[in-house]
């Protein structure tokens, strides 16, 4: 009897135990491995679009974090840390694990990762020609270099990791100067790859006019010129400017842009704030209004508030009007900045006449009379930084401009509350384990 | 040799039995309780055999006993068992059974298809009866009803809104990867207890779905349908549930009909929700005080003065949270049956308004439980439950610039600003916050609607039975189908919507379908020397499917709430499929109720593991010794003295999707692209394993008037799955790892008392005392061996960074500690683990028809991080003086000890001995009527991050908890 029972048992156990599960496939998204071998043209293009799209993510925090430190404006929103940590309230230091740092830092490196995946995918596919591959490579290296440059701006003397292709084996933190060298070299690699490539990348309308091998190369050189200027290599920058889309007589707004839309999955311009909105507003630092020259049309970037606003012991009468709507584009780099870089490099290479000429292009574009001050180097640097301050307000430059010229201190930056301090750079994020 | 003889004996017995040639005699008698009332259906069994009967409607029985003498066991639910020797000369036995105060006779489910008497149990399995669950007051949700009634259980509420939002944690933290919630099985069906987010975060700016304060779906179960709840708290008891049991198992059994007269019960409860306490708002004596409070706002004193003179200083806290919500709970129960078929039918409708206008919860549920004997040895049971539940929860908790969460915006709202609509219905903007809470209350919507169908079945076949062996097959299983719909609407003229999203609609269509089955063979074998063997062998299969679709529209056409009437749409879909298969083997040996040993093992495989076809073994073993049942035990006053020890292992696999590194879809200007996801998958994942050693003693004294159960457990978790932040320069922000070790140790003491028991007055009391301590014993792999030693870290998403206080994983420290930035780096600034908790339960019965019950709950120690206070400090609305306070975690970590009158009820039963009606019961009761605490916010039981992972005791402007008072009426037909 018992034997029969056991046989029964054995029988049905075997029946059910034969149930074999299939290897799991993610039903929700393609896997990273799917593009690393035999990537198709479509997959490569998707990586390009994803890379371009994600350059925009975290850029808002890049601007608001550095702009708050530089006292271009205050960010009055529900998060107290925008007016406490960033402004060094009561001597408070920057936290190494908070959104104002991690948001721009993580998103920049995420784009770098996507570029590295694109580069790796290109090595393992035969679905596109070598000339086509060079276009992808040039794009990937240009974006990668530019993203690392933004991270380096935040980190300053803390340096950054440049070699991050292998997540299991990240390269070391390198010094600021070494990082500049590596970034420039990445940009130059990208430039040479783009040069004779078969460039048909699916860039958005933001790159209209910068979407062939020649014009994308000019974009690359424009960024390289900016990077070299920030690195202090003014002659090198001048060389690159000559190969960029710099044009003293063209529209100063000319240049590629980050575009935004209401399409499904797309994002809004993170720096647009609704007119007169409370609770989430970029409030112009009062010094921007006090220091402005009469008639400067760049004052249109500021809108007077119906009610002056205050938060955490800070106040302001104007708010940002830099962008007209939540889908207004954000300039990546434009002729205006190239002209200013051209002026700066000419000042630094002792060519004041050309510098004043360039500065006057900017002044006249904004309704100001020609520069009539001293043409000695220090005076011109003052003038240049003044012009950069108003031309590039709210675009993530001021903190680094001040730092480059040793002016990121209370002699040049207004302190609004007793006890506030000015941060020189952002700390290395906690997760880097440094 | 002996075995052979036994078997031969069995065979001979069978032969003789068939021809009735063996010697036998008849025993008769009557079974009553101590008041002389007949007991119907008492199980009467010849010890060591399967020969038995039950007592009839008058308590009489008659039993043919084989042999020349025997011992007969009398057992009956709720009463202590008795054993009596009988012989052909001593064949008239009248028995008076005593009430089983210590629940020693209760049958506890220990395997998937086997059970054991509590007095023989080697684990501390807590059981909650329907009387304890719903006897004192009406319960909103099943999990909420467990507060303070069980040892080793910590319950936190993430949302005070009607309809739940509750997390149950058994014996401390067992997982970091999200699943700290016990497995819930209702009548054999593995039901879902998901918290389904509504997508409100896309309008409010909350960081994650867990911050939306969604309800957990256990809220759908009607507590009044529940017969009992068994809680397997740790691995030693839950091992047989294998790879999903790391956080414990809650086994819910619903009510069944009984044969006899059909009973009809109608219940109507009417109650009220009111806020437990108001925190208060900052008030000003004069305009100079206003000027001092807002030094940089020149307009503040002027506006205050104007408002003051106009008599327009408001109390917005009271305006928003001050509603009295009406509660109505109607239940109809019909049960009955005959010897072949028993049924239980119930219908219930509960409607409840919250303390915020336009919030509430409605639940309509019906149940049909059927048990039918197809043949004498074949029983089919079916459990059918349909539920429709609806909740309107509005917006609370954390947000970022959404202008929606009440508490968040109230923190910045100034009471001298008039936020009420003008006569044309235009709501003013809130000049100091991102939204106007009056507008949010009146104009926005955040609702969910659930349709749920749970069907369980069980087929039991007694395939073979002799007087000393039984072979039983069971086939059980069922499904849980949940259709959840969510709807969020923020109109285009909301302050934070204008110029940005210009209106927001989110419609979620979410489906969860779980099904499972199990097949078991159970073989009982009794030897003549009073050793019984119970062998279970079986398999179990689970299949869980989820399909979550969330559609969002922005740029709305004014006043339209259709997804299509919008300028921008977003779709998100999440698919999840999980399959588990397990093989179970278990052997239980019982030597005359003296020594009871169990060994078992479960082999499980699941598609959540890296290798979906690899079996992992989860063994268990336990031993209980009932010293009082040995002959040497002579003490009359100690009727039970049991020592027990149990060991077991359980598992938990990573959440679905952890195996994959994804490319996420993105879009720029209408062009699709993809970007690498920030979480790095790991295709090698293995389940985390919890191992638990539990030992204790159960003692019953003085005729079971006093029962004491003491349990100590050591519960480790190895290969703990956790999300660890990666150096983000890698492009990833997190990875899943498998190399952390955690240990929980704790003590649980349960004391049952029945000091007075007379016909006119009885008092039953229970005290539950427990505490738990945790420690991270190992992090990563230590230096010197393969792998790496992981430095201490903040798990992603558990809080808001070290600056504001967070959980932090550090070797050698408790996992429940709250850390902040100290002078020398991260330091412990608090601990959410309570020092101890104590629940005290009391039942008084007066003159047979008055019942008075109450339950108190004392939690001593355990901190909470009150970030609501941080916000009101910044907004200048904190009621007390905050001049010297600095935005640092230490200032916001508060002692969250409390003493609470959880439940209290008084009932009077009026006997109506008419043919139509048996009795009428009226009563009053209350929940959470009294709380004594130093905690400065609404409720010391909080969690802003929902029920997942570590999250617990961090507060960001929750839906304030309410207290309830009820009137009850019951008609028994």
Nearest CA to CA, how far is A272 from chain B (Å)? Answer: 8
Residues contacting residue B21 through CB under 8 Å, at least 6 positions apart = none
Considering only the C-alpha atoms of chain B, give the largest distance between any 2 of them, rounded to a whole number of Å.
107
What is the C-alpha radius of gyration for chain A, rounded to an integer number of angstroms? 26
- The last residue of a domain, from among A320, A350, A368: A320
Residue of A4, A17, A21, A316 to mutate for B, most B C-beta atoms under 10 A: A21
Q: What is the ipTM of this complex?
A: 0.86
What integer pLDDT is reported at residue A12 of this predicted model? 59
Asked if B126 and B231 count as a contact pair (C-beta separation under 8 A), the reply is: yes
Size of interface A-B (CB pairs under 8 A): 282
Query: What pLDDT does residue A8 have?
Result: 61
Give me the pLDDT at residue A391, please. 96
Residue of A nearest to B886 (CA): A90
Q: Does any domain span residue A58? A: yes
Residues A151 and A296 in one domain: no
Asked if the Cβ–Cβ distance from B668 to A56 is below 8 Å, we say yes
Q: Which residues neighbour A288 within 8 Å (Cβ) at sequence distance 6 or greater?
A: A72, A73, A302, A318, A389, A390, A393
pLDDT above 60: residue B8 = no
Contacts of B359 (CB under 8 A, 6+ apart): B161, B162, B325, B353, B392, B393, B394, B959
Which chain A residues have a beta carbon less than 8 Å from that of B577? 27
Q: Do A161 and B729 touch (CB under 8 A)?
A: yes
On whether the CB atoms of residues A125 and B747 are closer than 8 A, the answer is no
pLDDT surpassing 80 at residue B120? no
Contact flag A78-B412 (C-beta cutoff 8 Å): yes
Question: What would the pLDDT profile of B790-813 be if each residue is shown by its tens digit?
Answer: 778 788 777 887 778 888 888 888
Residue of B nearest to A203 (CA): B671
In which band, very low, low, confident or very high, does the pLDDT at A17 lie, cut at 50, 70 and 90? low
Q: If pLDDT is split at 50, 70 and 90, which confidence band does B13 have?
A: very low
Q: Which of B569, B726, B887 sits opposite A264 (nearest CB)?
A: B569
CA separation for the pair A396, A374 (Å, rounded): 28
Q: Strands, E, within A17-114: which ranges?
A: 73-76
Average pLDDT over residues B946-972: 84
| Interface residue A79 vs chain B (CB under 8 A) | yes
Average pLDDT over residues B522-537: 86
Higher pLDDT, B106 or B649: B649
Say if strands B679-680 and B734-737 run parallel, antiparallel, or are unpaired. Answer: parallel
Establish if A113 touches chain B: CB-CB under 8 angstroms: yes
Among B566, B656, B731, pick the best mutation site for testing chain A contact (most A Cβ within 10 A). B731
B2-99 under CATH 2.60.40.1120, yes or no: yes
User: What is the pLDDT, as a whole number, of residue B449?
Assistant: 94
| Residues A193 and A316 occupy one common structural domain | no
Non-local (6+) Cβ contacts of B751 within 8 A are: B706, B707, B708, B709, B766, B767, B768, B769
Q: Are residues A38 and A186 in the same domain?
A: yes
Q: Do A53 and B575 touch (CB under 8 A)?
A: no
Q: Are residues A180 and A285 located together in one domain of the fold?
A: no
Interfacial A residues in 173-202 facing B (CB < 8 Å): 202
Instruction: Please list the alpha-helical segments (H only) found in B386-447.
Output: 406-410, 437-443
Statement to judge: residues A197 and A288 lie in one domain: no
pLDDT tier at A217 (50, 70, 90 boundaries)? very high
Nearest partner of B11 among B467, B461, B589, B463, judged by Cα: B467
User: Tokens 């698919």 identify what position?
Assistant: B575
Asked if A206 reaches chain B (Cβ–Cβ under 8 Å), the answer is: yes
With a cut of 50, say whether residue A427 has pLDDT above it: yes
| Chain B touched by A8 (CB under 8 Å) | yes
Cross-chain Cβ contact B500/A326 below 8 Å:
yes
Instruction: Please check whether residue A173 lies inside any domain of the structure.
Output: yes
Looking at A262, A296, A320, which one is the last position of a domain? A320
- Cβ contact, residue pair A161, B801, below 8 Å: no
**Do the domain assignments include residue A5?**
no
Q: What is the pLDDT of residue B968?
A: 92
Please give the Cα distance from B330 to B348 (Å, whole number).
Answer: 6
Residue B270 tokens read as 């009417």
Per-residue pLDDT tens over the stretch B863-891:
988 888 888 888 888 888 776 666 667 78
Would residue A424 count as lying in a domain?
A: no
Of B400, B577, B728, the CB nearest to A105: B728
Q: What is the per-residue pLDDT for B714?
A: 92
Q: Do B499 and A80 touch (CB under 8 A)?
A: no
Count of structural domains, chain A: 2
Comparing CB atoms, the residue among A19, A167, A265 nearest residue B667 is: A265
The C-alpha of B845 sits at a distance from chain A's nearest C-alpha, in angstroms, of: 51
Q: Kindly state whether A120 is in contact with chain B, defined as any CB-CB distance less than 8 angstroms.
A: no
Contact: B730, A325; criterion CB under 8 Å: no
Residue-wise pLDDT tens digits, A115-159 = 999 999 999 999 999 999 999 999 999 999 999 999 999 999 999
Burial environment of residue B879 by CB neighbours within 10 A (0 to 12, 13 to 18, 19 or more) = middle
- pLDDT for position B20: 43
The residues spanned by each domain of chain B are 2-99, 126-278+321-404+444-790+833-862+897-972
Which helix or strand (DSSP H or E) is residue B152 part of?
none
Average pLDDT value for residue range B182-193 = 90
Those residues with Cβ within 8 angstroms of residue B130's Cβ, 6 or more apart along the chain or in another chain: B224, B226, B227, B228, B255
Residue in chain A closest to B729 (alpha carbons) equals A109
pLDDT of residue B110: 61
What is the value of pTM for the model shown?
0.80
* Cβ contact A34–B725 (<8 Å): no
Residue A289: count other Cβ atoms within 10 Å of its Cβ.
14
Provide the pLDDT confidence category of residue B219 given band limits of 50, 70 and 90.
confident
The structure tokens listed for A136 are 């992808």
pLDDT at residue B490 greater than cutoff 50: yes
Lowest mean pLDDT among A423-432, B217-226, B476-485, B775-784: B775-784
Closest CA–CA distance from residue B27 to any residue of chain A (Å):
32
Instruction: Quote the DSSP letter at residue B723.
Output: E
- Say yes or no to pLDDT of B7 above 50: no
Q: Would you call A431 and B664 a contact, using CB atoms and an 8 Å cutoff?
A: no
Contact: B803, A81; criterion CB under 8 Å: yes
B168-182 residue pLDDT tens: 888 888 777 656 788
CB atoms within 10 A of CB B249: 26
Residue B127 has pLDDT above 60, yes or no: yes
Read off the pLDDT of each residue in A41-63 and give the average, rounded to a whole number.
94
Q: Kindly state whether A277 is in contact with chain B, defined as any CB-CB distance less than 8 angstroms.
A: yes
Residue A299 lies in domain: 281-320
Is A260–B403 a contact, with Cβ atoms under 8 angstroms apart?
no
Q: What is the mean pLDDT of chain B?
A: 85
Average pLDDT, chain A: 91
A153 in any annotated domain: yes
For B913, residues 6+ apart whose C-beta sits below 8 A from its C-beta are none
- For the segment A305-309, the average pLDDT, to the nearest whole number, is 86
Q: Which listed CATH number (2.40.170.20, 3.10.580.10, 3.40.50.1110, 3.40.50.300) goes with B126-278+321-404+444-790+833-862+897-972?
A: 2.40.170.20
* Mean pLDDT for the stretch of residues B16-32: 67
Distance from CA of B438 to the nearest CA of A (A): 16
Q: Which of A279, A293, A273, A245 is nearest to A390 (CA)?
A: A293
Give the pairing type, strands B898-911 and B189-190: unpaired
Are residues A169 and A51 located together in one domain of the fold?
yes
CATH number at residue A179: 1.25.40
Structure tokens at B795: 């798990």
Contacts A205 to B, Cβ<8 Å:
669
Averaged pLDDT for residues A40-65: 94
Which of A320, A349, A374 is the C-terminal boundary of a domain? A320
Task: Verify whether the Cβ–Cβ distance A259 to B671 is below 8 Å.
Answer: no
> Which pLDDT tens digit goes with each residue over B718-758?
888 887 778 888 888 888 877 788 899 999 999 988 888 88
Residue B786 pLDDT class (50, 70, 90 cuts): very low
Residue with tokens 């593009």: A35
């Amino acid at each position: 009897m018992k034997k029969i029972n056991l046989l029964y048992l054995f029988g049905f156990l075997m029946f059910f135990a034969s149930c074999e599960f299939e290897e799991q496939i993610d039903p929700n998204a393609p896997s990273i491995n799917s593009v690393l071998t035999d990537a198709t043209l479509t997959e490569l293009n998707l990586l390009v679009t994803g890379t371009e799209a994600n350059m925009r993510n975290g850029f808002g925090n890049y601007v608001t974090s550095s702009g708050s430190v530089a006292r271009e404006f205050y960010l009055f929103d529900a998060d107290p840390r925008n007016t406490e940590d960033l402004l060094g309230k009561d001597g408070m230091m920057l936290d190494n694990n908070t959104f104002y740092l991690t948001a721009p830092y993580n998103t920049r490196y995420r784009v770098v990762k996507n570029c590295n995946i694109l580069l790796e995918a290109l090595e393992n596919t035969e679905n596109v020609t070598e000339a086509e591959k060079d276009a992808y490579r040039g794009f990937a290296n240009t974006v990668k270099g530019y993203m690392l440059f933004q991270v380096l701006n935040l980190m300053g003397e803390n340096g950054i990791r440049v070699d991050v292709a292998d997540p299991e084996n990240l390269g070391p933190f390198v010094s600021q100067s070494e990082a500049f060298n590596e970034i420039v070299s990445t940009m130059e690699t990208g430039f040479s790859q783009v040069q004779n490539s078969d460039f048909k990348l699916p860039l958005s309308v933001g790159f209209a006019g910068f979407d062939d091998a020649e014009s994308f190369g000019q974009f690359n050189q424009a960024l390289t010129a900016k990077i070299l200027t920030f690195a202090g290599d003014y002659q090198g920058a001048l060389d690159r400017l000559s190969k960029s889309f710099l044009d003293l007589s063209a529209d100063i707004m000319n240049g590629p842009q980050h575009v935004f839309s209401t399409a499904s999955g797309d994002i809004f311009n993170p720096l647009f704030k609704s007119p007169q909105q409370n609770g989430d507003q970029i409030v112009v630092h009062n010094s921007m209004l006090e220091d402005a020259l009469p008639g400067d049309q760049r004052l249109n970037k500021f809108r007077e508030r119906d009610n002056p606003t205050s938060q955490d012991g800070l106040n302001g009468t104007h708010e940002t009007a830099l962008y007209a709507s939540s889908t207004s584009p954000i300039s990546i780099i434009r002729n205006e900045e190239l002209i200013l870089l051209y002026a700066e490099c000419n000042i630094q290479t002792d060519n004041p006449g050309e510098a004043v000429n360039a500065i006057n292009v900017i002044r006249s574009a904004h309704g100001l009379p020609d520069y009539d001050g001293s043409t000695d180097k220090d005076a011109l640097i003052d003038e240049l930084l003044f012009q950069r301050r108003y031309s590039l307000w709210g675009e993530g430059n001021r903190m680094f401009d001040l730092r480059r010229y040793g002016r990121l201190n209370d002699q040049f930056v207004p302190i609004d509350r007793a006890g506030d301090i000015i941060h020189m750079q952002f700390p290395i994020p906690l997760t880097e384990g440094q | 040799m002996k075995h052979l003889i036994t078997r031969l004996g069995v065979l001979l017995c069978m032969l003789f039995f068939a021809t009735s040639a063996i010697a036998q005699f008849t025993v008769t008698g009557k079974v009553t309780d101590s008041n002389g009332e007949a007991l119907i259906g008492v199980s009467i069994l010849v010890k060591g055999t399967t020969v038995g009967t039950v007592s009839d409607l008058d308590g009489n029985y008659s039993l043919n006993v084989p042999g020349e003498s025997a011992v007969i066991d009398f057992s009956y639910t709720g009463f202590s068992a008795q054993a009596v020797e009988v012989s052909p000369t001593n064949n008239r036995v009248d028995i008076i059974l005593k009430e089983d105060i210590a629940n020693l006779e209760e049958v506890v489910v220990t395997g998937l298809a086997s059970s054991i008497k509590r007095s023989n149990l080697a684990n501390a399995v807590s059981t909650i009866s329907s009387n304890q669950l719903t006897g004192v007051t009406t319960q909103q949700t099943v999990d909420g009803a467990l507060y303070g009634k069980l040892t080793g259980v910590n319950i936190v509420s993430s949302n005070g809104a009607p309809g739940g939002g509750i997390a149950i944690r058994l014996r401390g933290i067992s997982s970091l990867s999200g699943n700290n919630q016990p497995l819930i099985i209702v009548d054999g069906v593995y039901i879902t207890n998901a918290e389904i987010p509504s997508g409100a975060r896309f309008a409010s700016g909350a960081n994650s779905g867990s911050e939306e304060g969604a309800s957990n779906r256990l809220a759908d179960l009607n507590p009044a349908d529940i017969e009992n709840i068994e809680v397997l708290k740790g691995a030693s008891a839950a091992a047989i549930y294998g790879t999903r049991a790391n956080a414990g198992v809650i086994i819910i059994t619903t009510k069944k009909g009984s044969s006899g007269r059909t009973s009809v019960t109608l219940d109507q409860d009417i109650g009220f929700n009111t806020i437990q306490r108001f925190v208060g708002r900052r008030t000003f004596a004069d305009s100079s005080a206003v000027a001092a409070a807002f030094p940089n706002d020149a307009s503040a004193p002027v506006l205050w003065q104007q408002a003051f003179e106009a008599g327009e200083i408001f109390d917005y806290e009271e305006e928003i949270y001050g509603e009295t919500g009406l509660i109505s709970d109607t239940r109809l129960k019909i049960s009955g049956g005959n010897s072949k078929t028993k049924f239980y039918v119930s219908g219930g409708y509960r409607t409840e308004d919250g303390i915020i206008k336009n919030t509430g919860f409605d639940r309509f549920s019906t149940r049909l439980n059927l048990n039918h004997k197809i043949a004498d040895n074949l029983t089919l049971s079916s459990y059918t439950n349909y539920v429709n539940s609806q909740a309107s929860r509005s917006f609370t908790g954390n947000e970022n610039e959404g202008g929606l969460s009440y508490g968040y915006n109230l923190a910045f709202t100034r009471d001298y600003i008039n936020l009420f609509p003008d006569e044309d219905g235009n709501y003013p903007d809130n000049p100091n916050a991102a939204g106007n809470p009056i507008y949010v209350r009146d104009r926005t919507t955040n609702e969910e609607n659930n349709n749920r169908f749970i069907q369980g079945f069980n087929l039991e076949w007694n395939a073979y039975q002799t007087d000393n062996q039984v072979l039983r097959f069971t086939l059980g299983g069922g499904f849980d189908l949940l259709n959840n719909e969510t709807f969020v609407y923020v109109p285009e003229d909301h302050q934070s919507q204008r110029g940005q999203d210009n209106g927001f609609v989110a419609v979620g269509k979410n489906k969860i379908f779980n099904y499972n089955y199990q097949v078991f063979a159970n073989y009982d074998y009794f030897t003549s020397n009073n050793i019984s063997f119970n062998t279970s062998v079986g398999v179990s299969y689970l299949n869980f499917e989820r399909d979550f679709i969330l559609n969002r529209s922005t740029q709305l056409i004014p006043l339209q709430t259709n997804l299509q009437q919008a300028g921008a749409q977003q779709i998100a879909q999440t698919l999840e499929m999980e399959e588990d298969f397990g093989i179970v083997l278990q052997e239980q040996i019982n030597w005359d109720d003296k020594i009871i040993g169990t060994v078992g093992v479960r082999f499980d495989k699941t598609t959540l593991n890296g290798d979906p076809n690899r079996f992992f073994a989860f063994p268990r073993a336990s031993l209980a010794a009932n010293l009082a049942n040995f002959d040497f035990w002579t003490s009359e006053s100690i009727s039970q003295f049991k020592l027990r020890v149990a060991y077991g292992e359980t598992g938990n696999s990573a959440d679905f999707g952890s195996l994959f590194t994804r490319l996420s879809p993105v879009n720029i200007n209408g062009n699709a692209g993809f970007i690498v996801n920030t979480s790095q998958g790991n295709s090698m994942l293995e389940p985390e394993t919890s191992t638990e050693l539990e030992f204790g003693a159960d003692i019953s004294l003085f005729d079971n008037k006093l029962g004491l159960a003491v349990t100590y457990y050591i519960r480790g978790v190895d290969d703990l799955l956790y999300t660890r932040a990666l150096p983000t320069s890698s492009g990833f922000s997190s990875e899943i790892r498998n190399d952390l070790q955690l240990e929980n140790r704790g003590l649980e003491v349960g004391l049952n008392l029945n000091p007075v028991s007379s016909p006119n007055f009885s008092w039953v009391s229970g005290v539950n005392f427990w505490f738990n301590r945790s420690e991270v014993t190992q992090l990563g792999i230590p230096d010197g061996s393969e792998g790496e030693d992981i430095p201490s870290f903040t798990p992603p998403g558990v809080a808001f960074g070290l600056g504001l206080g967070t959980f932090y994983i550090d070797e050698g420290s408790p996992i429940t500690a709250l850390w902040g930035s100290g002078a020398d780096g991260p330091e412990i600034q608090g601990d959410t683990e309570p020092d101890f908790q104590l629940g005290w339960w009391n039942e008084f019965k007066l003159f047979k028809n008055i019942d008075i019950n109450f339950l108190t709950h004392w939690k001593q120690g355990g901190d909470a991080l009150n970030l609501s206070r941080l916000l009101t400090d910044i907004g200048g609305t904190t009621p007390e003086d905050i001049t010297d306070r600095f935005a640092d975690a230490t200032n916001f970590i508060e002692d969250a000890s409390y003493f609470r009158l959880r439940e209290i009820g008084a009932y009077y039963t009026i006997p109506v001995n008419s043919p139509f009606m048996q009795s009428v019961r009226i009563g009053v009761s209350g929940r959470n009527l009294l709380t004594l605490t130093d905690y400065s916010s609404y409720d010391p039981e909080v969690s802003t991050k929902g029920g997942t992972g570590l999250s617990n005791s961090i507060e960001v402007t929750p839906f304030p908890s309410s207290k309830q008072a009820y009137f009850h009426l019951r008609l028994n037909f």
